[in-house]
């Protein structure tokens, strides 16, 4: 059967075909029973509400390159997919839907609301996983997980109850990030720090004894209603004599102490700081250190409460204006300054978060972080790539505080705590006693023992922070707490690929949870990648509206082209990459270049197959020196094995971008541009049979090797070409073939260097021909002069290639030149002088006239453009773009004139 590829490559049809084939045939289904060396990656679970953005495309492509490579090297590979339930995001979507219907979640009740949430998940929650399929990711879809599926929910219950029983989870009153819009505590990761143009209000607190006042400044004047102290630095000579005295808080007329604390920066502002322990994280710590009262002035909806006096019921920002007005009326407002500062916003609620005292559930971090620190310091586990992130990770573990894990939401893992509300008049209060259990039945048995048979229970309405469940992800997805074969064989996982922005929030959570529950770090290596920046080098974000849709680029150029672009742009592990993009046309030159590469590979493969006389690489047999390799066969095999070695080294050491670039240069340059041209004459019908066979063997062998090397980066086109080349049926696929091994004995650096001289000579002759307008069909005489015997030998050995590719009829290689060679055109490559006699080949007079005419035209253009640029009216009235365009045109014309003058000197 003759192997043929269609004339044109159709990425959409090809990619859809192989994505379906891989999934339908469960090509990537993992099997721990097969043994071997495991290679396991768990996907960083995207939010179930999400849709594929460029960050996803980048991350999943990097992972897929690693997974496909290690699978081809023979490792027992599992890439486990899944999604995160995204409590706040899903709840926000549903509450918007209910609001449009004139309802709230409370109108539905918890049970009906959750039914609606699961319906939404069934209808819309698979969007991102279907989009991931379009990337061709080689995941095991049979093991797809969801953080609220039955198994993972059981793992969350197990983890919570164990930690509580061990005294590592507690319920307490603490300062948390509070989102008034969603009326829930939010994690640090759910807070977006935004720089805003605000104000700094200065006002005076009079000393109670009437001897003067202290001036303080704040960006949140409404919080002064909750002040319980004023702090100064103990070493600040301006205020030492006031420490221990009191001031009278304006408006509230409350007497509050002046305290000394090292936290206060004496050089900032006046050196006096108002202390509001219930509404600022730093003040909270100072309040604890100095036993100050904690006065909460805010309701959970962002309005002020009864502790705000006359401002009760006012929205916090309305109250801000009114407090400032009252301070001005009372004569204690000193000044208002414009002030640019950072304000934390709730990522989901889109409003500034409020530090708020609230009774929440917390995890004691210190025992967990200490274990992770011990693994890092004693065993360098996990290993971070690049290494600079090790210190960042370590510093974060050292600074971690207790983790608030409760969220005032309904969608998520409901906290497994039941309150004995019969002890507190049927309500859950801060002091209501409770029991923790995996089930209500178990909780009831526990409660009866404590509070009697008639105890009335109510379950905690809050849910757990999503980072709690995703902190268990590397082992819960493999079956923990059950002792499954997957957990036994694939855990710890091998590599985590993730962005630097969640080292603190996810990576550290996983290492702490895994260390505690499995006594192992959850992964060997953490590969930290950078960001995909927009065309201007800016971080993509919804607020900037500067995202680039990967699905649009896939539909225009194909998945493989986008994948290859994303990986090839990476220079050094962890570096950001910039995506070229034209927003007017939705085009990308860099992705287009990768699409052109796929076309180059396709056309080269077509040419190879058209010249194999219908034989497959297996039928032809591997090339062997015994069959009579020619010089160019030995050269391409040396280059091929160099690239095999380079690709393996790069991929083993996370040099993905370097591997991609090396393959590009070898395939486009060495194989397509040179080797194909070098062997064309040996593939003709009248070619010497053995030489033709060796060329075909080498052709087929190197092409199949290229497909294997390139497969992790461009899986679809390589799979398609490989099946056509090898004529393998559906029972095999390229994705499961062995990755090439280097044959060191065939790597010949000296030969490769010799070919660089040959190629340089061919390029020089071609350039000289072009400069002299010698027609492609005309063969020339070339004289190559070098004093080096070695160079002359190299040129002589490769003379047939020079004659063939540079259209040279008579080739002379000499140590010295005759005195009179007539009119020649000359060039140099290395220390070799290249000369082409022009007599009888070119009409010198006609050529000179042609060059003079071109030069005259260019000089006229230079004169005209220079005159425009010296015209001040033009420079003043034209737009900067037009003026710059004229300057660029002048520079280009002057360059062309210089080239033409140099060429005229030759004739």
DSSP 3-state percent helix, strand, coil across the chain (nearest 5): 50, 20, 35
Task: Please give the DSSP secondary-structure letter assigned to residue 225.
Answer: G
Structure-block tokens of residue 469: 């469940």
> Whole-model pTM?
0.86
Read out DSSP for 183-203? TEEE-GGGEEEEEEEEEEEEE
What's residue 308's pLDDT?
A: 94
Task: Please give the DSSP secondary-structure letter assigned to residue 350.
Answer: -
Closest-CA residue to 810 (of 840, 830, 847, 844): 840
Max CA separation in the chain (angstroms): 120
Structure-block tokens of residue 489: 């064989």
Strands in 417-420's sheet, in edge-to-edge order, are 434-436, 417-420, 457-459
Tell me how far CA of residue 517 lies from CA of 55, 295, 522, in angstroms: 31, 39, 10
Rounded CA separation 166/463 (Å):
21
Rounded CA separation 748/244 (Å):
83
Rounded CA separation 873/710 (Å):
57
Closest-CA residue to 609 (of 700, 682, 716, 733): 700
What's residue 225's pLDDT?
A: 96
Degrees (nearest 5) of the Cα angle 327, 199, 267?
A: 95
Closest-CA residue to 316 (of 191, 186, 203, 180): 180
Structure-block tokens of residue 317: 């920002």
Closest-CA residue to 837 (of 825, 849, 854, 828): 825
What's residue 177's pLDDT?
A: 87
Instruction: Please state, as a whole number, how many other Cβ atoms lie within 10 Å of the Cβ of residue 291.
Output: 7
Rounded CA separation 853/859 (Å):
10
Report, as ranges of residue numbers, the positions in the chain whose pLDDT lies below 70.
1-3, 188-189, 348, 625-627, 819-821, 906-907
Degrees (nearest 5) of the Cα angle 518, 519, 524?
A: 90
Across 67-85, b (16+ Cβ under 10 Å) vs e yields bbbbbbbebbbbbbbbbbb
SS3 598: helix
Angle at which helices 589-610 and 715-726 cross, to 10°? 0
Degrees (nearest 5) of the Cα angle 272, 274, 277?
A: 140
């Amino acid at each position: 059967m003759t192997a043929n590829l269609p004339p044109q490559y159709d990425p959409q049809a090809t990619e859809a075909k192989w994505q379906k084939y891989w999934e339908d045939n469960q090509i990537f289904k993992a099997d721990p029973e097969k043994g071997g060396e495991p290679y396991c990656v768990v996907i960083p679970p995207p939010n179930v509400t999400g849709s594929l953005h460029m960050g996803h495309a980048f991350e999943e492509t990097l992972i897929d390159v690693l997974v496909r490579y290690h699978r081809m090297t023979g490792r027992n590979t599992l890439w486990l997919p899944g999604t995160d339930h995204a409590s706040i995001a899903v709840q926000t979507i549903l509450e918007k839907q209910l609001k449009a219907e004139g309802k709230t979640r409370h109108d539905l009740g918890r049970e009906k609301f959750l039914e609606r949430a699961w319906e939404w998940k069934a209808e819309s929650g698979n969007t991102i996983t279907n989009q991931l399929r379009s990337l061709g990711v080689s995941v095991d879809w049979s093991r797809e997980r969801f953080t609220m599926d039955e198994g993972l929910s059981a793992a969350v219950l197990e983890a919570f109850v164990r930690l509580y029983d061990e005294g590592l989870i507690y319920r307490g009153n603490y300062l948390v990030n509070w989102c008034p819009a969603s009326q829930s505590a939010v994690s640090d990761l759910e807070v977006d720090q935004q720089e805003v143009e605000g104000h700094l209000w200065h006002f005076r607190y009079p000393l109670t004894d009437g001897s003067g006042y202290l001036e303080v400044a704040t960006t949140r004047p409404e919080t002064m209603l909750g002040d319980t102290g004023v702090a100064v630095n103990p070493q600040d000579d301006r205020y030492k004599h006031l420490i221990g005295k009191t001031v009278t808080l304006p408006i509230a007329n409350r007497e509050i102490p002046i305290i000394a604390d090292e936290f206060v920066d004496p050089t900032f502002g006046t050196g006096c700081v108002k202390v509001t322990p219930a509404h600022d994280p730093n003040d909270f710590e100072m309040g604890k250190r100095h036993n100050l009262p904690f006065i909460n002035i805010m309701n959970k909806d962002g309005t002020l409460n009864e502790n705000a006096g006359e401002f009760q019921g006012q929205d916090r920002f309305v109250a801000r204006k009114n407090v400032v007005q009252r301070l001005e009326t009372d004569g204690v407002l000193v000044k208002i300054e414009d002030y640019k500062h950072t304000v934390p916003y709730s990522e989901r609620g889109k409003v500034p978060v409020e530090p708020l005292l609230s009774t929440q559930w917390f995890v004691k971090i210190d025992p967990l972080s200490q274990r992770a620190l011990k693994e890092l310091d004693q065993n360098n586990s996990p290993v971070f790539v690049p290494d600079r992130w090790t210190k960042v990770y370590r510093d974060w573990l050292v600074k971690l505080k207790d983790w608030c894990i409760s969220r005032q939401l309904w969608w998520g893992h409901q906290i497994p705590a039941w309150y004995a509300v019969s002890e507190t008049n049927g309500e859950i209060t801060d002091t209501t006693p409770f029991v923790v259990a995996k089930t209500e039945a178990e909780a009831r048995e526990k409660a009866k023992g404590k509070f009697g048979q008639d105890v009335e229970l109510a379950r905690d309405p809050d849910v757990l922070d999503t980072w709690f469940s995703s902190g268990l992800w590397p082992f819960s997805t493999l079956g923990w707490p059950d002792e499954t074969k997957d957990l036994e064989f694939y855990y710890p996982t091998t590599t985590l690929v993730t962005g630097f922005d969640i080292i603190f929030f996810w990576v550290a959570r996983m290492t702490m949870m895994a260390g505690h529950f499995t006594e192992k770090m959850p992964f060997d290596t953490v590969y930290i990648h950078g960001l995909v920046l927009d065309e201007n080098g800016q971080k993509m974000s919804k607020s900037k509206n500067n995202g680039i849709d990967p699905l649009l680029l896939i539909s225009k150029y194909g998945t493989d082209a986008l994948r290859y672009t994303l990986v090839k742009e990476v220079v050094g592990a962890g570096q950001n990459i910039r995506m070229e993009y034209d927003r007017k046309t939705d085009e990308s030159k860099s992705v287009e270049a990768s699409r052109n590469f796929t076309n180059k590979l396709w056309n080269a493969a077509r040419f190879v197959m058209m010249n194999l006389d219908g034989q497959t690489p297996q039928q032809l047999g591997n090339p062997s020196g015994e069959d009579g390799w020619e010089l160019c066969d030995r050269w391409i095999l040396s280059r091929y094995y160099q690239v095999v070695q380079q690709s393996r080294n790069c991929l083993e050491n996370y040099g993905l971008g370097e591997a991609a670039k090396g393959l590009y240069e070898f395939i486009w340059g060495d194989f397509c541009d040179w080797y194909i041209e070098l062997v064309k004459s040996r593939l003709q019908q009248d070619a010497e049979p053995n030489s033709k066979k060796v060329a075909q063997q080498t052709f087929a062998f190197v092409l199949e090797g290229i497909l294997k090397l390139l497969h992790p980066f461009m899986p679809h086109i390589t799979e398609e070409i490989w099946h056509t080349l090898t004529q393998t049926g559906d029972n095999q696929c390229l994705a499961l073939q062995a990755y090439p091994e280097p044959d060191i004995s065939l790597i010949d650096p000296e030969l490769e260097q010799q070919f660089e001289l040959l190629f340089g000579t061919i390029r020089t002759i071609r350039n000289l021909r072009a400069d002299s307008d010698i027609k492609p069909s005309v063969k020339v005489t070339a004289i190559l002069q070098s004093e080096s015997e070695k160079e002359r030998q190299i040129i002589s050995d490769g003379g047939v290639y020079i004659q063939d590719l540079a259209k040279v009829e008579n080739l002379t290689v000499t140590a010295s030149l005759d005195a009179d060679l007539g009119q020649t055109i000359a060039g140099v490559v290395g220390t070799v002088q290249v000369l082409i006699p022009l007599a009888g080949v070119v009409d010198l007079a006609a050529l000179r006239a042609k060059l003079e005419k071109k030069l005259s035209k260019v000089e006229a253009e230079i004169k005209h453009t220079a005159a425009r640029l010296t015209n001040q009216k033009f420079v003043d009235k034209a737009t900067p773009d037009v003026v710059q365009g004229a300057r660029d045109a002048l520079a280009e014309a002057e360059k062309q004139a210089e080239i033409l003058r140099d060429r005229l000197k030759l004739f």
